[in-house]
Amino acid sequence: MRVYISVDMEGISGIVDWSQVDFRKRPQEYEACRRMMVGDLNAAIEGALEAGAEEVVVADSHGRMSNLPPEEVHEAAVLIRGSPRPWLMMEGVDDGFDAALYVGYHSMKGTERGVLCHTISGRVVDAVYVNGVEMGEFGLNAALAGWHGVPSIFISGDAAVVEEAKELVPNIRGAVVKWGVSRYAARCLNPKRARRIIREKAAEALRGVDEIKPFRVEEPVEVRMRFLTSTMADAVAIMPYVERMDGRTIKMVYDDYPTAFRGLRTAIAVAYPVEER
Ligand SMILES: [Zn+2]
């Protein structure tokens, strides 16, 4: 059995603030937090191995994507780190995997009690809709795994992201490691206890892998994006195949989901620098 794990940082147990996930803000705090990140990840790897995984590929998927200290990642796993890379948080996923797991994920922008909630780029994106359904990073990434025929079977993070994932994949196994009080505050389980839950749920998920279907979106795919400012939509509306819907919203239609994913990423890259003046 081959298992793919995408690891973000905002949904790791104990993390509640941007300064904890950005090495430029409070380096010592970040250092401690990337160790918590590797702790949650290794718990998921151990659970997967217990349930029969023979190969584990891990994608470090936060910020510049080189947060995990390689020597501390479970030695059974191959680590994908660094950026840029075409498929971002899902780099390396393909039809050879039996399951995709998501560790340390967070909810979409605007979620009530969603710890550190945002959608891909908090500086650019207000909302993303795929075929009319608003999606956060879990949905956008699970659809990529699903396009390759890989089911999304496990997620860890706060209560809000587990709920968000269940809206799209009702029988996904979720490990809740904290409960948001606000966007920047949470009731957190002790990391050791959180890891025990992650390990158990990840193992349980892999044992039940056949019960979960890949999450696929209908093709052709319509992506609508609302930006934080109209300037961003002005810039993105110049791109081919992009239609302006209103002041801050654009629409793109693509034949297949991977191309739609690339369109979405490119739009964010185009919008990102426009307010820097
Ligand atoms: Zn992140």
| Residue 267, both tokens | 């739009």
**3-class state of residue 262 by DSSP:** helix
Per-residue pLDDT, 187? 98
Residue 180 predicted with pLDDT over 80: yes
Give the rounded percent of residues in the chain with a pLDDT score beyond 70.
Answer: 100
Task: Identify how many contiguous H helices and E strands the chain contains and give both numbers.
Answer: 6, 12
Half-sphere exposure of 257 (CA within 13 A, CB side): 20
Q: How confident is the model at residue 214, as a pLDDT?
A: 98
Centroid of ligand 1 to alpha carbon of 155 (angstroms): 14
* β-sheet with 2-7: strand ranges across: 77-80, 55-60, 2-7, 99-105, 152-158, 173-182, 185-188
pLDDT of residue 35: 95
Is-contact 227 271, C-beta < 8 A? yes
The torsion angle over the Cα atoms of residues 155, 157, 161 and 165, rounded to 10 degrees, is 0
CA of 71 from ligand 1 middle (Å) equals 21
Distance 220 CA to ligand 1 centre (A): 29
User: One of 62, 106, 118, 148 is an active-site residue; which one?
Assistant: 118
Q: What is the pLDDT of residue 48?
A: 98
Convert the pLDDT of each residue in 10-20 to its tens digit. 999 899 999 99
Is the pLDDT at 152 greater than 90? The verdict is yes
Cα 105 to ligand 1 centroid, rounded to whole Å? 7
Return the CATH fold of 221-271: Gyrase A; domain 2 (3.30.1360)
Distance between Cα 231 and ligand 1 center (Å): 25
pLDDT for the residue numbered 276: 87
**pLDDT tens track for 245-269:** 999 999 999 999 999 999 999 999 9
State residue 230's pLDDT score: 98
Q: How far is the CA of 8 from the centre of ligand 1 (A)?
A: 5
Q: How far away, in angstroms, is 201 Cα from ligand 1 center?
A: 22
* Rounded Cα–Cα distance for residues 187 and 169 (Å): 25
Percent helix, strand, coil in the chain, to 5, is 35, 25, 40
**CA pair distance 201, 216, nearest whole angstrom:** 23
* pLDDT tens-digit series, residues 78-93: 999 999 999 999 999 9
| CA 69 to ligand 1 center in whole angstroms | 16
118 as an active site residue: the answer is yes
Q: Summarize pLDDT for 236-245 with one digit per residue, the tens.
A: 999 999 999 9
Tokens of 219: 């093709």
> What mean pLDDT value characterizes the chain?
97
CA of 35 relative to ligand 1 center, distance in Å: 15
Domain residue ranges of the chain, discontinuous segments joined by +: 2-113+137-211, 221-271
Report the distance separating Cα 165 and Cα 50, nearest Å: 24
Q: Are 82 and 88 in contact (CB under 8 A)?
A: no
CATH T-level topology, domain 2-113+137-211: Rossmann fold (3.40.50)
For the chain, the farthest-separated pair of C-alpha atoms sits apart, in whole angstroms, at 53
User: Has this prediction a pTM greater than 0.75?
Assistant: yes
Instruction: Assess whether pLDDT exceeds 90 at residue 277.
Output: no
Q: Which helix (H) or strand (E) holds 268?
A: helix 257-271
Over residues 153-171, the mean pLDDT reads 98
**What spacing in Å lies between the alpha carbon of 83 and ligand 1's midpoint?**
13
Q: Give one DSSP letter per residue of 210-240, joined into a string.
A: GG-------SSEEEEEEESSHHHHHHHTTST
Listed in order, strand segments (DSSP E) in 32-151 are 55-60, 77-80, 99-105, 125-130, 133-134
**For 96-137, how does the pLDDT look when each residue is reduced to its tens digit (9 = 90+)?**
999 999 999 999 999 999 999 999 999 999 999 999 999 999
Average pLDDT of the residues in 22-45: 94
Confidence band for 25, pLDDT divided at 50, 70 and 90: confident
Q: How far is CA 206 from the centre of its chain?
A: 19
What length is written for the chain?
A: 277
Phi, psi of 244 (to 5 degrees): -85, 130
Where do the H-state alpha helices sit in 3-136?
Answer: 27-50
